[in-house]
Amino acid sequence: MNATALLPDPLPASSAAELAGRHLVLGLSGGAACFKAAEFCRLLVKAGATVQVVMTEAACQFITPVAMQALSGRPVYVSQWDARPGNNMAHINLSREADAVVVAPASADFIAQLAQGRAGELLPLLCLARPADKAPLLLAPAMNREMWAHPATQRNLRQVAQDGAHVLGVAHGAQACGEFGDGRMLEAGELLEEVIAFFTPKPLAGRRVLVTAGPTFEAIDPVRGITNLSSGKMGFAIARAAREAGAGVTLVAGPVGLPTPRGVARVDVVSALDMHAAAMRHAAQADVFIATAAVADWRPAAAAAHKIKKDGSGAVPALAFVENPDILADVARLPRAQSWPQPGALYCVGFAAESQDLLANAQAKRARKGVPLLVGNIGPATFGKDHNALLLVDEAGATELPRASKRQLARQLVAEIARRLPVAQER
């Protein structure tokens, strides 16, 4: 294997839709957040799902069935007396076809109806009549902050969760009423992440995964520094994939502008020293460490207190450098990492961004760092891009993961890591 084997070719065809083959009932209850349901419906369809929209009468005051039909490509149901089904039982037929029922927005009143088992309209009736073992119920609450905090609402939320519903979180921010606080419905993209995560197998359930991602920035003075072209996209994709696989994930991120994946605990750092301290601190609780970050090898020996100015003489300031600590090697030397593959050990995965001789350099780095798995890629071919190709190097040899989106590769890599872990780890 050499570098040219993993150089980018023309962009591949669109990734396989992550919800392909899934049939979802999307329920809308009354609330201003119905406008988000329109975008959510569009994203579900784009992800490959077929979507059957069911609306309450109150929802029709905020967005029309015509709009939701245009977005879903299917007739919308509102009334439990709808005569279109041959047996006049829309509440039975629609729920039997569904892989899941997702209600977004789920108003305080709608949640109260579910908690009490009331079914005065088609949507709550459908939820009550669905086969719970085959059509799980996901609720995306949306309401005013006072309604969200009210003891009755919190009691109802606990009840519906006890009855088997999966209650998604709410956002904190500005609300349609002009107030500010908890109760906003999650954004459409966040809801899509939650649905995809819900359907993803959980081979890392109960595991704790630590991921480093992005570049580091080594200050020369208050306005300049040394960094690299890493965007952090691969590491963030891995963090998301690990969370979807059931792990509790901590992401130590260098200076990047990427949004935090849903359900991931993020620790922002700047320099290699910052990242080293955070990684060593969180490694004590981790079962898997994935060192994706492109950490600077050297830093200026001392950063200037003020901006270094040129004086027009052509003289170049002399900079002295010192070596940064080796985060991967230091974590791999921890006693729990050294005890691999014993139960309770820490499994370490390194990354190598090379510019040539990928296989030889990856093999040498794996041996030098003392880790069971080293993932190699060609840095210039992937930095800042949405696609990549990976080379997995372990004691058995090397395996290529062909060029694909970083999202796809992250899921493949997480599956490979899960396959390598012991069936059970005792702490």
Residue 279 one-letter amino acid: A
Q: Is the pLDDT of residue 423 over 80?
A: no
Q: How confident is the model at residue 157 (pLDDT cuts 50, 70, 90)?
A: very high
Q: Is the pLDDT of residue 344 over 70?
A: yes
d(CA 91, CA 108): 22
Please check whether residues 152 and 215 belong to one and the same domain: no
Instruction: Say what the pLDDT of residue 424 is.
Output: 54
Q: Of 375, 364, 368, nearest to 401 (Cα)?
A: 375
Using a 10 angstrom Cβ sphere, with 0-12 exposed, 13-18 middle and 19 or more buried, the burial of residue 259 is exposed
Please check whether residues 165 and 224 belong to one and the same domain: no
Instruction: Say what the pLDDT of residue 42 is.
Output: 97
Please check whether residues 41 and 153 belong to one and the same domain: yes
> Is 280 part of a structural domain of the chain?
yes
Q: Is the pLDDT of residue 1 over 80?
A: no
The residue from 199, 231, 261 where one domain ends is 199
Domains in the chain: how many in total?
Answer: 2
Phi-psi region of 371 (alpha: psi -120 to 50; beta: other; left: phi over 0): beta
Please check whether residues 76 and 223 belong to one and the same domain: no
> Is 310 part of a structural domain of the chain?
no
Please check whether residues 87 and 187 belong to one and the same domain: yes
d(CA 301, CA 323): 9
pLDDT digits (tens, 9 = 90+) for 98-121: 999 999 999 999 999 999 999 999
Span 321-327, average pLDDT = 95
What backbone phi and psi angles, to 5 degrees, belong to 43?
Answer: -65, -40
d(CA 345, CA 332): 11
d(CA 241, CA 29): 31
> Is 214 part of a structural domain of the chain?
yes
d(CA 361, CA 395): 15
Q: Is the pLDDT of residue 7 over 50?
A: no
Average pLDDT, the chain: 91
Q: Is the pLDDT of residue 153 over 60?
A: yes
d(CA 383, CA 159): 47
d(CA 64, CA 75): 12
SS3 assignment, position 150: coil
- Cα 236 to its chain centre, rounded Å, is 7
Please check whether residues 77 and 176 belong to one and the same domain: yes
Q: How confident is the model at residue 357 (pLDDT cuts 50, 70, 90)?
A: confident
CB atoms < 10 A from the CB of 255, how many?
15
Please check whether residues 151 and 284 belong to one and the same domain: no
Contacts of 201 (CB under 8 A, 6+ apart): 245
Catalytic residue among 34, 127, 177, 348: 177
Q: How confident is the model at residue 35 (pLDDT cuts 50, 70, 90)?
A: very high
**Angle, in degrees to the nearest 10, between helices 151-162 and 108-116:** 50
The residue from 199, 227, 259 where one domain ends is 199
Instruction: Say what the pLDDT of residue 276 is.
Output: 98
Q: How confident is the model at residue 43 (pLDDT cuts 50, 70, 90)?
A: very high
- Cα 143 to its chain centre, rounded Å, is 25
Please check whether residues 284 and 214 belong to one and the same domain: yes
Q: Order of strands across the sheet with 23-28?
A: 50-55, 23-28, 100-106, 137-141, 166-167
Please check whether residues 195 and 216 belong to one and the same domain: no
Which residue bears the tokens 């003075």?
Answer: 221
Bridge partners (DSSP) of residue 281 are: none
Q: Is the pLDDT of residue 71 over 80?
A: yes
The CATH code of the domain that includes 166 is 3.40.50.1950
SS3 assignment, position 259: coil
Q: Is the pLDDT of residue 425 over 50?
A: no
Helices (H), 117-256: 122-129, 145-149, 151-162, 188-199, 233-244
> Is 314 part of a structural domain of the chain?
no
pTM, whole model, 2 decimals? Answer: 0.88
Q: Over the Cα atoms of the chain, what is R_g?
A: 25
Please check whether residues 167 and 220 belong to one and the same domain: no
What does the buried/exposed string (b/e) look like for 270-287 if buried means 16 or more CB atoms within 10 Å of the residue's CB? Answer: bbbebbbebbeebbeebb
Q: Of 205, 210, 211, nearest to 245 (Cα)?
A: 205
Q: Is the pLDDT of residue 359 over 90?
A: no
Instruction: Say what the pLDDT of residue 310 is.
Output: 86
> Is 313 part of a structural domain of the chain?
no
> Is 410 part of a structural domain of the chain?
yes
Please check whether residues 99 and 241 belong to one and the same domain: no
Phi-psi region of 39 (alpha: psi -120 to 50; beta: other; left: phi over 0): alpha
Instruction: Say what the pLDDT of residue 197 is.
Output: 95
Please check whether residues 222 and 336 belong to one and the same domain: yes
Please report, to the nearest 10 degrees, the dihedral formed by the alpha carbons of residues 175, 178, 180, 186 taken in order: 10
pLDDT digits (tens, 9 = 90+) for 288-308: 999 999 999 999 999 999 998
- Residues across the chain: 427
The residue from 133, 168, 199 where one domain ends is 199
**Residue 35 lies in domain:** 23-199
Examine the residue annotation and report whether 177 is marked as an active-site residue of this protein.
Answer: yes
> Is 12 part of a structural domain of the chain?
no
DSSP state of 133: T
Q: Which helix (H) or strand (E) holds 298?
A: strand 298-300
pLDDT above 70 as % of the chain:
95
The CATH code of the domain that includes 237 is 3.40.50.10300
